[in-house]
Structure 1
């Protein structure tokens, strides 16, 4: 199997699996329990993992909150800041995001904007024909440029006296373009707006140093950097006194994670995330150099094919993510992916929007080409020959 879908998920590395295994068998203690050895060792393992994740982004360990993944992290900080600043601090009710966010951000903001409602069968739907529900918030969804990037001027123009939070994706999970998070974050913070970014696709692939980054919060998932599924983290910047800004909890329960996220910690997954972060930090420079070289080689290969158009920013992008438009208007990406599925794993876009037209392509004026687009996303062990094999199936001689 040739695997070209690392944006969807990555294989758990052997070192990560080995680190996790003891906490599924003999070291099964609850880290919130007290006094006896298994509980103490479980708690120590969690705190070690917290240090490892913090180390990857140069944060303080106390700035890391473990969650079940970036989706929960996004929901936690967006709903938490919005609720607290409106109802407790009376600051305002206006939020800003973009039209190309991951659904974990986009649908959270749609919910607060009153666009997503519950049907009689308790399923959540988005129906533009249905009247919105007033949940007390208004959201501005920013347009983007041809590379699916948010312009700093557009963000700044959308800020108004009641704006409390802006959330802008760092690296686009469909076409790989990078937003200028430094410029965007600085613009938000200049106006006292809390700035959050979903950095899921960037973590472990590009350097992140929160000490010099104008962000208040970042979201991550472990399974994008050879860690396990079902665990992620939320970074929230602390002040000079070591305190996080107050925000309402999404999950109420016990006092785990300093009362921010109730529920028994999933120790083995957290340990796996920590090990994955440690490995990513130790290999980051070498892997980035290799991925950039591989990216240049494959971009040249794709650009030389007159039947392919490459989307996204040619300079400011995550190395190893390629969104291509196949020139044949009769090409059906879903049918093609099924045909090659026993040999090659690739995708038609985000794994979280399967079966739906790509909102990213729609936002950049390419909605009619949704069925012609393939996303190829590479990992540390990928080779140019992997893409060549897909192209051979795509354009047989």
Structure 2
């Protein structure tokens, strides 16, 4: 009898163990890492990326756990940080600056089971996707805003580096400006940095000294908007709404929105459906916007700008429709509209931009 009871007890224990083994343990959260090129701060490119990270966390709850490293220089430091995040068990890593492209590709080869998404680059791999926003679409409408508001017909533009992404913005802004003011000009100073508030401020002040009554920027800090506020001039912010730093100066802000995209990518990893791809979204996809309008922009002008935004989203207005001439008079496109290949190979200033590439 005892033997029978013992056998039953052992059987019950064995069966319970089998059930326990067959039952999945509570799923561990997916670890997701982010590499930021500048401090998060209170505005700018990295600030907007971090808003996207937090929106993704809010959407997915305890299914995800994120970590980030901010203010990571492009180059060797980036490679080290990306590798460290992979070694810490992050299964998806977002590398959020153009100069992280080659380090991302290199580390991805060493960690084939980790997924990577690189922002603003063009190189992919089986475990590396790329994403970008069509910043130039909102830049074109921002140029129209500047065209409606400028008195001197001179607009200043603080740029980071003369790469296609930055040139697309300068050229689209200029074409939008000149669609309103055909003889207006854009003066550009490149600071050769994504984030250097001191250089950005000096460049903005120099442009204001050259007669600009509106300044804008493709850099990360709020320095350009603050310089305009100090001088009693206007500014169009970039990356995020910077009205806190220029309540009278800011006419509007070209902003980027990453939360839905980050959420979609993370969810696809959770679902086991993630694939390397290249996403480039604009107004239509909700990845760019012109918002944060200041007190100087009335409702009539806001309505006009929204109409242009809707036309771009619908495909009836193209910021780079022919004819396109560079600022030396050479025809760059005679018919049609610039395609993505042409946009990503842009290496010139359009008509209306003062100066030559590489020279301030």
| TM-score normalised by length of structure 1 | 0.34
| TM-score normalised by length of structure 2 | 0.37
Q: Which has the larger radius of gyration?
A: 2
Larger strand proportion of the pair: 2
Query: Which structure would you say has the larger RCO, counting Cα contacts within 8 Å and 6 or more residues apart?
Result: 1
